[in-house]
Chains A and B, each alone.
Chain A
Amino acid sequence: MNHATKTLYGLGAEFSSAAGLLEAAKKIYAHGFKKWDVYSPFPIHGMDHAMGFKRSRVSLFSLIGGFTGLTTGFVLIYYTSALNYPLIVQGKPYFALEPSLPIFFELTILLTAFGTVLGLLLLTLLPRLHHPVFNWDRFQRATDDGFFLVLEVTDPKFDPTASRQLLQGMGGTHITEIYQDPEEDPHPVRAEGIA
């Protein structure tokens, strides 16, 4: 295949174990790389710390969802039972906290779940059905038993020769150049986030 016409996306390396990948990630982080990622069939314990991540912000979306649910429950019950069409049923008050609690609770849970999943999709930018890493033929083992590390060319620290040597020095094997699809631009949202 003629690579000259394609844009380089990054440099990928394979590691033999979760422990090896974790060690490599620590070193890459120490080198100050910003645009890179590791790929593994399961979440590796300690990897978030090794890559310098802060706490995931998914919980913020859950909180917003939960408050929305609780408010929805309150507005729904109060508006319909006490304002829009008050109706005496079994002599009970139009609105009271006790019988409303189950519905408050259920709607809070429901919208927390929606908020959480929405947060996950926004933070991971999924669904995204294609990605340059899928162009690497070995990469399908990332969902089986492969451990991969990919440095992106857009990272200011990236250098074709030095980065390759760096990956080799850490025990990376099958070091491969990964290319963008010809028509594909860098992802707009992620490109902005880095600049």
Chain B
Amino acid sequence: MRSSDSSAQAAFVKAADYLERRPLVSNHRPLSWITQHVCQIVEERAPKWWWILTITFGAMAALVPAMLTYLVSTGVGVWGLNVPVCWAWDITNFVFWIGIGHAGTLISAILFLTRQKWRTSINRSAEAMTIFAVICAGIFPAFHVGRVWMAWFLAPVPNANAIWQNFRSPLLWDVFAVSTYFTVSLIFWYLGLIPDLASLRDRATTRLRQMAYGLLALGWRGSNRHWTHYEKTYLILAGISTPLVLSVHSVVSFDFATSIVPGWHTTIFPPYFVAGAIFGGFAMVLTLLIPFREIYKLHDLVTDKHIDNMCKIILLTGSLVGYAYSMEFFIAWYSGNPFEIYAFTNRAFGPYWWAYWAMITCNVAAPQLFWFKYCRQNPWVVLAIVMFPNTGMWFERFVIIVTSIHRDFLPSSWGYFSPTWVDITLFIGTIGLFNFLFLLFVRFLPIINMFEVKGITPQADPHAEDHSTSLNHSSHSDPSLGTRVHA
């Protein structure tokens, strides 16, 4: 009797050890190590590679104002747009960039509400990525209106003929959705930064830094009378950002889905766009994080477990996207509508077949490699694989937009769209702008959310000792398991 009890107990302890989660901060780093390690990225002299990259991407970013000046001074015809393809690279780029932003909000809001503690070390950089991606996205529709000096027609003020906006148009919904998304993301990001800006303020040695970080930190002093309101605010913002992020790409998809164009008029669009956005966004998060993790030796904060989790999300959302692609074909066939069937046959086997199959290869086939543990565990393999979703999600938007409209109902008006050098250069410019802004962020703001990471360390848990006494064989923190062992 006695021996069977002890062997059962041993088995429980063994199971508890096995089930114990890998710590989110490796090597039992103390709190001050976290502050020091993250702040020194901002405090040390800018390394040479940073100058080289920032100047290169800054020069690329300068292509954006250059191309826009050329566009405005010459006319919107310098983009390769013409009837029947009046939406092409510009709207493709818009949807591409706005989609990338979604992973940032997903990590900061949805993973917060679902208590996914691993989000804490990646949310800061992912939210920054969101903001920079939305900045890049906003450029395209603003200039796509043609006469950009009349873009104020989009604002809710009566125009020159005293006519108000058409609130029945999904394009206006888009204006509201994207501007709300940008504003709320910025507020959320800044709110999360305040305690970390205070850390930088308290470590600052130069007057300029003390002033700059001091003003930005709003005089934060870590008071619990503040933390109580702060945590509530964070929770509410996470709560409202969750439906917001789902709504933004849904509204973007309404731009297409509410039309009568075969290939666009699809009820599956909102969830399909949201899944695609998260898919592409996580790929971009990994693209940015893996190199910076290596450069700044952040392996104890952004662990292999974090990368593994993100790969699994990419696998899931990539498979969802693949399901949506096949469902579109099924519904086209099932509808019996010849225009609908033609739109999809043309998509896969028409003149843009290469774009379609590039999309399938990148978005459906490539992420399946993440079924293999080896592929998820090796950062450089991960980096190589996520380049496929990065590319594929651009192709997806191009395929949806251009293949649906280049052959519409009248064969006499069919056409073939090719981008001009202005289209291509402007897109390259936004890639430069995105990276340029991210490099500035890495240099001037803490790229890891220090206070949240500190909050998930074992030493931050004031009840840690209560748990360990209930199960004195193991440091497992599940009290229910502890009672069962002793019972």
Contacts and interface: CB of A to CB of B under 8 A. Distances in A.
Interface of A: 17-19, 21-22, 25, 37-48, 51, 53, 55-59, 62, 76-77, 80-81, 84-85, 87, 89-90, 92, 96, 99-100, 102-103, 105-107, 109-110, 112-114, 116-117, 119-120, 123-124, 126-131, 133-134, 139-145
B187 A40 contact: no
Given A17-B459, A142-B221, A145-B32, A123 B167 contact: no
A129 B221 contact: no
A187 B180 CA distance: 36
B122 interface: no
A40 B227 contact: yes
Contacts of B156: 76, 80
14 contacts: A37-B224, A44-B462, A59-B236, A92-B168, A103-B173, A105-B243, A117-B187, A119-B233, A126-B219, A129-B214, A130-B219, A142-B222, A143-B201, A143-B221
Nearest to A22: B462
A43 B455 contact: yes
Chain B CB within 10 A, most for which of A53, A120, A123: A120
Contacts of B240: 62, 109, 112-113, 116
Given A37-B224, A45-B463, A140-B202, 17 more contacts: A18-B459, A18-B462, A41-B451, A41-B454, A42-B455, A44-B460, A48-B228, A55-B232, A56-B232, A99-B168, A102-B170, A102-B176, A109-B247, A130-B219, A140-B203, A143-B35, A143-B199
B166 A89 contact: yes
A44 B224 contact: yes
Chain B CB within 10 A, most for which of A39, A57, A114, A116: A116
Closest 4 CB pairs of A and B: A145-B31, A80-B164, A127-B218, A56-B232
A51 to B, nearest CB: 6
Nearest to B199: A143
Contacts, number: 214
A106 B176 contact: yes
A195 B35 CA distance: 39
Contacts of A145: 30-32, 35, 454
B266 to A, nearest CB: 18
B225 interface: yes
Interface string B231-257: 111001100100110010001001000
A120 B230 contact: yes
A119 to B, nearest CB: 7
A143 B198 contact: yes
B167 A59 contact: no
B220 A126 contact: yes
Contact of B162 (A62, A85, A113, A143): A85
Range, interface on chain B: 35 or more
Nearest to A18: B462
A142 B307 CA distance: 31
A117 B233 CA distance: 7
A129 B223 contact: no
Interface of B: 30-32, 35, 156, 158, 162-170, 172-173, 176-177, 180, 183-184, 187-188, 191, 195, 198-199, 201-203, 214-215, 218-233, 236-237, 240, 243-244, 247, 251, 254, 450-452, 454-455, 459-465
Contact of A81 (B167, B201, B244): B167
A148 B3 CA distance: 49
Contacts of B169: 89
B232 A85 contact: no
Contact of B224 (A48, A80, A109): A48
Contacts of B164: 80-81, 84-85
A43 B459 contact: no
Contacts of A102: 170, 173, 176-177, 247, 251, 254
Nearest to A92: B168
A130 B214 CA distance: 10
Contacts of A123: 229
B230 A124 contact: yes
Given A77-B167, A85-B158, A46 B463 contact: yes
B160 to A, nearest CB: 13
Contacts of B163: 85, 87
A130 B452 CA distance: 24
A109 B221 contact: no
Given A37-B224, A39-B224, A43-B230, A107 B180 contact: yes
B221 A107 contact: no
B223 A37 contact: yes
